[in-house]
Structure 1
Amino acid sequence: MSGNNGASAGSVALAFLSGILLGAATAFLLAPQSGRESREGLLRAARRAGDDFKDFSEKATHTWEDVVEKSRDFMSEASSVVQDAVDAGKEAMRPLRNSSRDEPNTPL
């Protein structure tokens, strides 16, 4: 069974937008204002919500780019470490291979 407890970016965005819409609808229905004032307030709230969502989206994009860049750096470093280990292993085995070539084969 998969233990995925994290929320996906899509579900977070959907929850965010749902909250905005629910809050705006509640404010619209319960506000003691004229229709024109309510519409203007709703437009202001929608613009603010759009700006907030744009900021959230930009931050998420920058965070994702940072994660990708750090992952690439890590993989490059790990690859270098593995290559160094392989080279060291080859170098350590070289004398053993050379000595086994110099010894005559003896039958058992």
Structure 2
Amino acid sequence: MSEENDGIGAGTVLLSFLAGAAVGVGAALLLAPKSGEELRGDIKDLADDAVSKIKEYASDAQEKIRASYEDGKELVIEKKNIISSAIEAGKQAMEREREKQEQV
């Protein structure tokens, strides 16, 4: 579960790539010999596609964050139970040793 992340995440790289592609396509549309109406329609379509993809990636990111949070929460509870058991065992062992010392 605990992977080291020494650089930029894959999601960030993908989002940056898509943003760059959108800018490139937008520039190509602006420089293409089309009528104003066609150009505005192409730009609107491009913007709509970009917005829908960004929403999709944001939704995916939320799901991954939610899943990671739940996994982390379960792990904390599990470790807390282990530590509580170890503390209780230590208390019992200390009590047994104290009773042995009192008998001597």
Shared fold, TM over 0.5: yes
C-alpha RMSD over aligned residues: 2.5
Q: How many residues align?
A: 100
2:101 partner letter: S
Identity %: 27
1:68 partner letter: Y
Structure with greater contact order relative to length (CA < 8 Å, sep ≥ 6): 2
Supply the distance in 2 between the matched residues of 1:56 and 1:10 (Cα, whole angstroms). 8
Partner residue of 1:44? 45
Greater Cα radius of gyration, structure 1 or 2: 1
- Call closer, same or farther: CA 1:69–1:84 in 2, change over 3 Å: same
Gapped regions of structure 1 (runs ≥ 5): 104-108
Runs of 4+ in 1 over 6 A off after TM superposition: none
Supply the distance in 1 between the matched residues of 2:28 and 2:33 (Cα, whole angstroms). 12
Offset of residue 59 of structure 1: 0.9
Supply the distance in 2 between the matched residues of 1:26 and 1:69 (Cα, whole angstroms). 44
- TM-score, scaled to structure 2: 0.78
Offset of residue 72 of structure 1: 0.7
- TM-score, scaled to structure 1: 0.75
Offset of residue 11 of structure 1: 5.4
2:59 partner letter: E
Offset of residue 46 of structure 1: 0.4
Supply the distance in 2 between the matched residues of 1:14 and 1:58 (Cα, whole angstroms). 13
- Call closer, same or farther: CA 1:71–1:60 in 2, change over 3 Å: same
Match of 2:28 among 23, 26, 31: 26
Offset of residue 55 of structure 1: 0.7
